[in-house]
Structure 1
Amino acid sequence: LWPAGFFRPGMEHDARLALILTQEGKAAVCLATPTRGMRRVNPEEETLVARLAQATAYAAEPLLMYQVERHVALTLQHSFLPQPHRLPELPGIDVAVRYVPASQQTEIGGDFYAALRTDDGVLVAVGDVVGHSLDAATVMVEIRHALRAYCVDESDPAVLAERLDKMLRYYHPGITTTVCLALIDPATGRTRIANAGHIPPLVIRDTGTAEYAKAAGPLLGIGLPHPAPTELFLEAGDRFLMVTDGLIETRGTDLAASMEHLRAAAVGALPGLDALCDTLLDCFGHEREDDIALLALKLG
């Protein structure tokens, strides 16, 4: 495995290997130590090297498991979050989405988005399962599937929030989630919003102004009643933006100030949904400590 003299120049036989087998199916740990030429290693040295190799294996295993868990969680998120080219056909609505995982040094989160057809219009959602772990990623998947099932016969955002809250408390007590749901009628622009502890949607008007929807409510998982949906109307050319807090939240910075920076950046973005998403990621999406999910739409 090593060229002659790797440890000490001029020594042909200069390494002794100790191989420690870990759990079945896991990679073995190999510890290399230098030797003094061809001199035999005494039993005490053999025992010491073996113990050191065993301790190395024990220390390495949690790190390897963390890498495996992160890979599984990322695979889950990428598998269940529809990519832009796989979004469903949404008559009368144009949609752009982005998902950016946090840097490799941080744990995985439970950010998600959804865009679904219903009998009463288009339902869009952006949310974040509180926590950073494989559990958060799996709960995220359950919430997305539950939302898809519930909206087959129910489209009221407040009712959907109540059902998701009940499901979460029943199957995952102690876990909380923020989510914002919006139902848009493409024919009229009527938009009904239920917000459960999430950053409210930002409406970027075609006139060059932008404001956050006045929609608020308790996060999911705590059993509090949700208020009636907030209603507003979108006009042709208006853009409707939903994000997770990973885009703008920074330690030591007030969230209200970060939201204002987001609003200003959105107003200054070039027209179009892709331009809006790309501008915001360029402004805020570097070296973030949390995953980022964005969903932008406008009337088609």
Structure 2
Amino acid sequence: VALGHDRRHPEPVAEVAPQRQHQPAGAHRGQAAARLVTRLAEGRTGVHTTVVPAPLWPAGVFRAGVEEDARLTVATAQDGRTTVCLATPARSTATGDPADDGLCTRLAQATVLAAEPLLMYQVERHVALTLQRSFLPRPHKLPHLPGVDIVARYVPASEQAEIGGDFYAALRTRDGVLTAVGDVVGHSLDAATVMVEIRHALRAYCVDESDPVVLATRLDRMLQEYHPDVTATVCLTLLDPGSGRVRIANAGHIPPLILRDGGGARYADACGPLLGLGLERPPATECRLHPTDRLLMITDGLIETRGIPLTTSMEQLRTAAAGAPAGLDGLCDVLLGCFGQDREDDIAMLALRLG
């Protein structure tokens, strides 16, 4: 049984060798053993060995239903916060062979060296997820925007993948409704932090500006000034609910998909350089939404797959969206069902129509 513990978290982490049949009681034994190891390691550094008498060691850890003394080799990482324990039945080392001691010590030291960065990654991933979920509006709590119906979806990457910087926004401006979907390049806590800055900067700029090209230019300058080594993609749309006129500024992102009544679907002809490069931005692309039309914006996490050209994935999305049921929720749910399972990147999605 190997027990790992990061002192930044109140609960220890336990990995117990599986029995022939999985039993919930085994998990409880593992947690009890981990708590005992935590108490033994408190205030100590380096590697030390001790024997825990059977009455103090959870029965059945080594063999189901059997009480045994436990020989523990506890190693603490240099940061003083990560502890790993190698536990064996004391009877197996009763000979006291120094070679056995050295083997257990080296194994415990190697394990703690491997566990330390893993636990640090878990902490960083948790912080990044917390940032994203704290600063992105809940899909069911999007602001009420007169004349427009909007739904959004956000799905973090699978547990095995890193956190990215995907975001979405829906904002009221003096000239209509501004929507944005974007992605900070990279997968780390830094990407999530820059995502928050971009989103807040966009909200601030919208107070006195609504032109999507101007907003993209300002975001580009902000990244160059404060994050010169970071790039991001974003697509901005400004919709006038009264006329249905849409102006689009695209910075290296997947363009919006416009779904017409009757099943037709096409991507808006909108492109432009990434944010953070300081390149000249092209004029806005214009189109018009009819009352029965829908506009869909996504991040590439929904469809990007290794080994498959993005253009191929975009065409698959266009075909699936064209055949999706009417309505915004149905559209998003169908696309997530088709493309959104066990993705390696975060997914942000925003769909709207005239209300």
3-state DSSP of counterpart to 2:352: strand
1:15 matched to 2:70? The reply is: yes
1:114 matched to 2:169? The reply is: yes
| Deviation, structure 1 residue 257 | 1.7
Which position in structure 2 is the counterpart of 1:153? 208
Mapping for residues 132-281 of structure 1, pairs under 5 Å: 132-281=187-336
| Deviation, structure 1 residue 86 | 1.8
Q: In structure 2, do the counterparts of structure 1 residues 115 and 38 end up closer, same or farther at CA, with 3 Å as the change threshold?
A: closer
Which position in structure 1 is the counterpart of 2:90? 35
Identity of aligned residues (%): 70
Could you tell me how far apart the structure 2 residues matched to 1:42 and 1:292 are?
A: 55
Which position in structure 1 is the counterpart of 2:14? none
Unaligned 5+ runs, structure 1: none
Query: Residues 71-119 of structure 1: CA distance to partner in whole angstroms, max 9, x if unpaired?
Result: 1111111111101222111111100000111111111111110000111
Unaligned 5+ runs, structure 2: 1-32, 34-56
Which position in structure 1 is the counterpart of 2:346? 291
3-state DSSP of counterpart to 1:69: helix
Q: CA RMSD in A?
A: 2.2
| Deviation, structure 1 residue 18 | 2.2
Range moving further from structure 2, 117-126 or 11-20: 11-20
CA contact (8 A) 1:13 1:37 kept: no
How many residues in Structure 1 have an aligned counterpart in Structure 2? 300
Which position in structure 1 is the counterpart of 2:4? none
TM-score, with structure 2 as normaliser: 0.79
CA contact (8 A) 2:259 2:294 kept: yes
Could you tell me how far apart the structure 1 residues matched to 2:247 and 2:64 are?
A: 74
Q: In structure 2, do the counterparts of structure 1 residues 190 and 20 end up closer, same or farther at CA, with 3 Å as the change threshold?
A: same
Q: In structure 2, do the counterparts of structure 1 residues 25 and 96 end up closer, same or farther at CA, with 3 Å as the change threshold?
A: farther
3-state DSSP of counterpart to 1:28: strand
Range moving further from structure 2, 178-187 or 76-85: 76-85
Which position in structure 1 is the counterpart of 2:17? none
CA contact (8 A) 1:5 1:14 kept: no
TM-score, with structure 1 as normaliser: 0.93
Range moving further from structure 2, 30-39 or 83-92: 30-39
Query: Residues 7-61 of structure 1: CA distance to partner in whole angstroms, max 9, x if unpaired?
Result: 4699854420123344678353222133336847366654553443233222211
CA contact (8 A) 2:140 2:151 kept: no
